[in-house]
Amino acid sequence: MSRSGKTRGAFGGGRYDFQITIGGMEELQELCDAGPEEIFDRISSGRWRVSDIRETIRLGLIGAGVDQFKALALIDRYAVPGAFFGLKPLCTSILGAWLVGAPDEDKVPSGEMEGETSRSPDESSGSETSTPSAAP
């Protein structure tokens, strides 16, 4: 199953998509001197650093398609002293989507198990039958 790692959240008076790419995660690791789970843990446990919050959001915006200059302007305007505590849930959502996928990516249509597809009883796989059919 492919997961996009995309999530949507409120930031700066609007709702945005957030998605950290592989390259974005490599940059985040460099900027924060930590891997994704360590950054997630620091934010969750209250041991976060300013770069953990600001860079997670900035790189999440960029990865979801926001222009890098607009993303930086949003960060400079809304990820400021007095706002950091309220941004923790957004950051854990962004990192959580990267680590395990977004919650809505786990939804499977009602009545079907994951990986299962509906097939018509008359539909053939295209493979030859491995056992002969019984005579009527």
Q: Report CA-CA distances (Å) from 113 to 4, 83, 121.
A: 20, 42, 18
Taken in order 14, 15, 17, 18, the sign of the CA dihedral is positive
Question: Mean pLDDT of successive 10-residue segments in the chain (136 residues)?
Answer: 79 96 97 98 97 98 98 98 97 95 58 45 50 55
Q: Which residue has the tokens 């041991």?
A: 47
> Side chain identity at 114, as an amino acid letter?
E
Secondary structure of residue 119 in the 3-state scheme:
coil
With beta carbons less than 8 A apart as the criterion, state whether 48 and 88 touch. yes
Q: Which helix (H) or strand (E) holds 7?
A: strand 7-11
Query: Which pLDDT value is given to residue 1?
Result: 30
In the chain, where the domains are located: 7-101
pTM: 0.74
